[in-house]
Structure 1
Amino acid sequence: MIERDYITVKKSIISLLESIPEPTESIIETFVVSMLNNISTPLDKDKLIAEIWSELVLNAHYEKPDIYEDSSQDHVKWLTDQKKKSIKWLYWNRYAEDLLEGGFNPKALDSVDDITEDILSRMEDPQREGRWDSRGMVVGYIQSGKTANYIGLICKAADAGYKLIIVLAGIHNDLRYQTQLRIDSGFIGSRKEPDKPEQVVGVGLISAKHKRKNLEVPLDVTCLTTSSPDGDFTKKFAGSRISTSPDGAPVCIVVKKNATVLRNLNEWLTDLEKKHPELPLLMIDDEADNASLNTKKYEDATAQEKEDMTSVNRQIRDILNKFDKSAYVGYTATPYANVFIDPDARSDEYGADIFPRNYIISMRSPPGYFGSDTVFGRKSSGDAVDHFPGIVLVDDDEIMLPPERRSDSTFVPKEISPSLYEAILSFILSTAVRTVRNEGVDKVIHNSMLIHVSRYIAAQGTNSDNEEMQTGLTKLIREILDSIKDDLGIADSDRYREFHDFWDASFYPRSKDILDRIDDPMCSDVTWEQVRTVLRKTVKSIKVRTLNGGNKDDKLDYSKYEKDGLNVIAIGGDKLSRGLTLEGLTTSYFIRTAKTYDSLLQMGRWFGFRFGYVDTCRIYTTQDLITQFREINAADAHLRYQIRDMIDSDKTPANYGYKIIQNDPKFRITQQNKMRTAGKEIGNPYSGSLKQTYKFQVSPDIVMDNFRQVWQLVSALETRCGYENTKEGNYLWKNVPVDLLLKYIPDIKLHPELGMGKDLIRYISDRSSSVESPELTHWTVVLVNNTSK
């Protein structure tokens, strides 16, 4: 009863506050107190204020994405207001309802609604006659909600009439399994597991509720893959399950990007295409920069060699080319390889490559997103103290896999380093803090720790209930947890003193430093006394999962712990490098190096949303890795505002010529075979360079407009900044804040051949507004006295 009253009161207050543009904490408190004074149920005032503040303030400002669309392509605009009214949107509406019931933020849902409509409108109308295809790409951020986005797109596409939906879900079974679970919940509505009856989940529960109320529900989706360990596509399982027709229910297939799996799917689709070539196909390519691209060399290649594309790329293109109507949408947070796809690559047999020739949608960083820029900043050097206070430096002499052993696939660590032991203590305390905060709350939370030190199974170890079969890090960590658990069973154990000392000296002060920088009222204060009472229970609950080829049965099965939550230490390498979500990730021990931007950035599983527990997050890593992440951040920001500049310049991806910053020749942008069409390295076009206006606009109207802008700037400088007279008679203003320049300079019209348009303005704006490492924040301005000439 109390929980239901709490939700009702919370929704009522949020509804009342939505009319206030920027509600402050004090305004929210006034509404909460007023509401609580008028009800008899005792509710937690501080918790209400914190959660309402989070929903209304942290998530209130969703910026619209940057959208490029090539108007020269064969696209017919179709999603008019009238067309939208004629579509029932049954799949989308039940998905939206399921998200809201699960606590999804309404503002975030509005953003998903808008963006998925933007994407759908740029795909073709599935009812359009004739043969057509489209290629698009959505650029997001790591762990920023792209799965929720493309499930929303799938629902809307099904409502509009797309009948065959194929999701390419990474290259590992773990990611395919995790994606299948999400799609089961958000689109299918049921889950199939071996030796168990079919289970109704997610949107299926919404449909069941609607049926009881005699409301219309969408047709059941036929899914040809399952969440079982061997649930990837097979022709045997597909069999005769499909009875798709233009008027029937949609068919969904979730597969990993494996040449054999895709070949089997392709062969099976050949028969389907013969019966129903008119079926509209939607292909979602998750992690579109990984495995999907053709990495064969094109330079000086013969016609036959150009046909010999990589097998996964060939299967993808063959599937798309097989149907008269197809739409391909690639999702990625690291599009560095995608911009190097040959836009003109085409095969007579397999059709055009997956270059996003029709549209590119670049999403903005969502509010409250805990991203690489927040964690590491953008400078190429500096101390960790300039970054997120949760970063803990691992000294080189503490690294348990020394450089000379990192390429040794047989190396097995005999003991853990002091820094890894501290990271384990941090994870235990983080989990205990979250347990205390969640007491009395009807909400399941998961807690995860990531350990990523090597790609080799020997170092990671193998997991087994049989202790004699355990090896490597897995064995060492299990032994430590068992030892801690046993010691905490003794009331006056030295372990309690060890945890208490670490809490006082490091964990609690660092948490305070984090909250001094990142405002999150949901992070309520927790005392050592509260933590102590749940410490042993916390340690006993922690599982160890080793995700590698030697532990095929180990997976992050959060869905099986929906009652009490899963507390897990995940040890791994390549399987933890892309796409996989670690729920409630608080502690990361990451010392594995990478040779490319995209590989390293994708390894950062700690990015995402951390409302209510950001103060418990810790990242144990090295200074070298921090420096590399900063370099990536600068390059990533520059690429994203090049996409905006391409849109403003009315150019296409084929003729714009993207430039990606690379400072260290040993630290590459992406794999060399993905950069076949890349030109020579030219360095950062702005950093350390001199930009001059050696050409001027001569149109009288432009000259007059520019004079007005400069006059307004000078007037503002005189008001806000005192000037000096130089010996040459010039006017000099020092320490001019960048916001003053950005208010006037963008409207000054420079000669187009200078190459200093909105791209340069955005470069200055992005550098100066960086959350953690702002640069170019103050300028020197000089007005040259030219009266003597």
Structure 2
Amino acid sequence: MTTRDNDYESVLQGIVALEFEKQEPALPLYDPRNLHHRSARLMVVKKNKTVLTKLVKDLNKIKTPLGEIPVLIIDDESDEASVNTSNLSKPDAERTAINEKISELLRILPRAQYVGYTATPFANVFIDPSDAEDIFPKDFIISLPRPAGYMGVQDFHDLDLDLPPSERTFANSNEKAHVRDIVLNDEEDDSCLRQVMDMFMLTTAMKLYREANRRGDRYFQHHTMLIHESVRTADHRELLALATSLWYESGYTGTSGHARLRELFETDVAPVSHARAEDEAVPASFDELVPFIGPAFMRIGGDDKPIIVVNGDKGIETGEADFDKRPIWKILIGGQTLARGFTVEGLTVTYYRRRTSNASTLMQMGRWFGFRPGYRDLVRLYLGREEALGAKEIDLYKAFEAICRDEEAFRAQLEQYARPVDGEAQITPAQVPPLVSQHLPWLKPTSPNKMFNARLVEVRSPGQWEEPTAYPSKQAALKRNTEHWMPILDRLSDDTTQFTHTM
């Protein structure tokens, strides 16, 4: 009932398309003697208030009793827009628009089953389980296993690697193999961005080399680099100007460019690939890669558009990032458009400095996660290690590591629902809502307006003492604490007792 180009529209006189005729009128539609003879209706609908309102209005018009229609509602990115962000305990509070429409759908379709799907489920867990009209996952939460070949957060961190830094190598350390630091002298320092673009050029040449030295049917349809610093279009405009200037000043087809690429190849690309490339072809030397640098330069910028801005601003967009229409070997600059649901195909090199104070948003910005067949060893993630977030200085790599630990702890929580006895679950999330961990004090699990039902608790492992880290540091708080303690201190005796401890 919808197409890839057209969302749901009111069907007017065509309302009959929503009707279900019964072969056995005396039986309900869901009876097998009726249901199996009827065609299913499929709709792909945006989470948009106007569109959902049309759908609800049309459903209320049809003659088929809505209580007899089995419905499956699949909510993709279920923590975005679907969650009610209005605290209903406050006077005159109303549900947010999308949440209200989803609740209305579930209310008028009593045989509906609702399944939410998201990579960042914390906001859904913070929903009040007692709110019958909301979308708390009351029956089950399933943690899907990571599929083979997928590169996730764990592939860029060394959470369980018990080795001192001096013993870490490209072979045994994910961080050493894939992660590079962005540390700038000042905001005018473009040396790191230049190196990232050099790395992109080298990985482009490496992919062309692998296509020419195929082991099997190796072919790379897309090859991309991502620059993500900000959601502001003004910043994208400046980044576009800077990256374009660096591209045309790179000297990739001359001796100066080759000298930089040679050094980067010999110190970074070659040793990592030799350690991690598995069955993929790796040049024995930079000279063996040189014939592919010129074609790589043309593959990216031969149309004079090496960079594509993805932010919806037609004034500065330089090309279309539609991976279904054509092969794309480009540098992409983007912001909010890349936040959710936008897959950057062929992503190999990332330059990331975007700051945010909640884990769900940060996780959605991690566009570098996914499948990298034939080029896992070439993936490089350049992350800001000293980024300003308000008055704080944050390390984005440490932030992603904290998210990884939060996620692992959450998966461990979900195991309590995955132990059926005689085929039946013993507890449900509605009975025991899972706990959400927060390993960094400043990095909240999700946005504050989705956490009004959350309660902060401190959990210690058995036998392990953990000092709270949220002690006051401001003068006013220290003064107030001292005032509270003074009555107790004043009651202490002036007598002292000396203890002697001998071994």
Instruction: Point out the more displaced range, 436-445 or 352-361.
Output: 436-445
Q: Aligned letter for 1:478?
A: T
Q: Is the 8 A contact 2:218 2:374 kept in 1?
A: no
The match for 1:497 among 252, 259, 271 is: 259
Could you list the structure 1 runs, at least 4 aligned residues long, displaced by more than 6 angstroms after superposition. Answer: 379-385
The match for 1:547 among 299, 310, 317 is: 310
The match for 2:278 among 514, 517, 521 is: 521
1:418 pairs with 2:191: yes
CA shift at 1:483, angstroms? 4.2
Relative to structure 1, the CA distance from residue 432 to residue 644 in structure 2 (aligned partners, 3 Å threshold; closer, same or farther) is: same
CA shift at 1:263, angstroms? 2.7
Which residue is equivalent to 1:288? 78
CA shift at 1:530, angstroms? 4.1
Which residue is equivalent to 2:454? 678
Q: Is the 8 A contact 2:350 2:382 kept in 1?
A: yes
CA shift at 1:360, angstroms? 2.1
Q: Aligned letter for 1:545?
A: I
Which residue is equivalent to 2:243? 477
Which residue is equivalent to 1:656? 432
The whole-number CA distance in structure 1 between the counterparts of 2:459 and 2:190 is 39
- 1:104-119 alignment, distance < 5 Å: none
Q: Is the 8 A contact 2:86 2:96 kept in 1?
A: yes
Task: Give the match's secondary structure for 1:587.
Answer: strand
Task: Give the match's secondary structure for 2:313.
Answer: coil
Which residue is equivalent to 1:329? 115
Identity %: 29
- 1:338-377 alignment, distance < 5 Å: 338-346=124-132, 352-377=133-158
CA shift at 1:320, angstroms? 2.8
Relative to structure 1, the CA distance from residue 270 to residue 532 in structure 2 (aligned partners, 3 Å threshold; closer, same or farther) is: farther
**Relative contact order (C-alpha < 8 Å, sep 6+): which is higher?**
2
The whole-number CA distance in structure 2 between the counterparts of 1:477 and 1:497 is 20
Relative to structure 1, the CA distance from residue 555 to residue 329 in structure 2 (aligned partners, 3 Å threshold; closer, same or farther) is: farther
Which residue is equivalent to 2:398? 627
Relative to structure 1, the CA distance from residue 321 to residue 588 in structure 2 (aligned partners, 3 Å threshold; closer, same or farther) is: same
The whole-number CA distance in structure 2 between the counterparts of 1:524 and 1:442 is 10
1:243 pairs with 2:243: no
Which residue is equivalent to 1:225? 3
- 1:63-78 alignment, distance < 5 Å: none
What do residues 45-86 of structure 1 show as CA deviations (whole Å, max 9, x unaligned)? xxxxxxxxxxxxxxxxxxxxxxxxxxxxxxxxxxxxxxxxxx
The whole-number CA distance in structure 1 between the counterparts of 2:59 and 2:357 is 38
Give the superposed CA RMSD: 3.1
CA shift at 1:607, angstroms? 1.2
Q: Aligned letter for 2:408?
A: A
Q: Aligned letter for 1:522?
A: D
The whole-number CA distance in structure 1 between the counterparts of 2:375 and 2:298 is 21
**Greater share of helix:** 1
Relative to structure 1, the CA distance from residue 654 to residue 248 in structure 2 (aligned partners, 3 Å threshold; closer, same or farther) is: closer
The whole-number CA distance in structure 1 between the counterparts of 2:228 and 2:47 is 23
What do residues 310-366 of structure 1 show as CA deviations (whole Å, max 9, x unaligned)? 1011111212323343221111121111111111213xxxxx211222222221223
Q: Aligned letter for 2:398?
A: T
Q: Aligned letter for 1:319?
A: L
Which residue is equivalent to 2:230? 454
- 1:37-56 alignment, distance < 5 Å: none
Which residue is equivalent to 1:72? none
Q: Is the 8 A contact 1:523 1:612 kept in 2?
A: yes
Q: Is the 8 A contact 2:403 2:439 kept in 1?
A: no
Q: Is the 8 A contact 1:453 1:591 kept in 2?
A: yes
Task: Give the match's secondary structure for 1:545.
Answer: strand
The whole-number CA distance in structure 2 between the counterparts of 1:686 and 1:566 is 53
Task: Give the match's secondary structure for 2:332.
Answer: strand
The whole-number CA distance in structure 2 between the counterparts of 1:613 and 1:442 is 10
Relative to structure 1, the CA distance from residue 576 to residue 689 in structure 2 (aligned partners, 3 Å threshold; closer, same or farther) is: same
Equivalent pairs counted in the alignment come to 417
1:319 pairs with 2:105: yes
The whole-number CA distance in structure 2 between the counterparts of 1:371 and 1:325 is 36
Relative to structure 1, the CA distance from residue 646 to residue 327 in structure 2 (aligned partners, 3 Å threshold; closer, same or farther) is: closer
List runs of 5+ in structure 2 lacking aligned partners. 21-36, 301-305, 386-394, 420-424, 467-503
What do residues 570-604 of structure 1 show as CA deviations (whole Å, max 9, x unaligned)? 21112212232111111011111110111111211
The match for 2:210 among 437, 460, 478 is: 437
Task: Give the match's secondary structure for 2:349.
Answer: strand
Q: Is the 8 A contact 2:123 2:450 kept in 1?
A: yes
Q: Is the 8 A contact 1:449 1:568 kept in 2?
A: yes
The match for 2:324 among 551, 559, 566 is: 559
Which residue is equivalent to 2:296? 538
- 1:79-478 alignment, distance < 5 Å: 223-227=1-5, 231-235=6-10, 240=14, 243-246=17-20, 247=37, 249-271=39-61, 273-274=62-63, 277=66, 278-299=68-89, 301=90, 305=93, 308-346=94-132, 352-378=133-159, 387-388=174-175, 389-397=177-185, 400=187, 417-439=190-212, 441=217, 443-461=219-237, 472-478=238-244
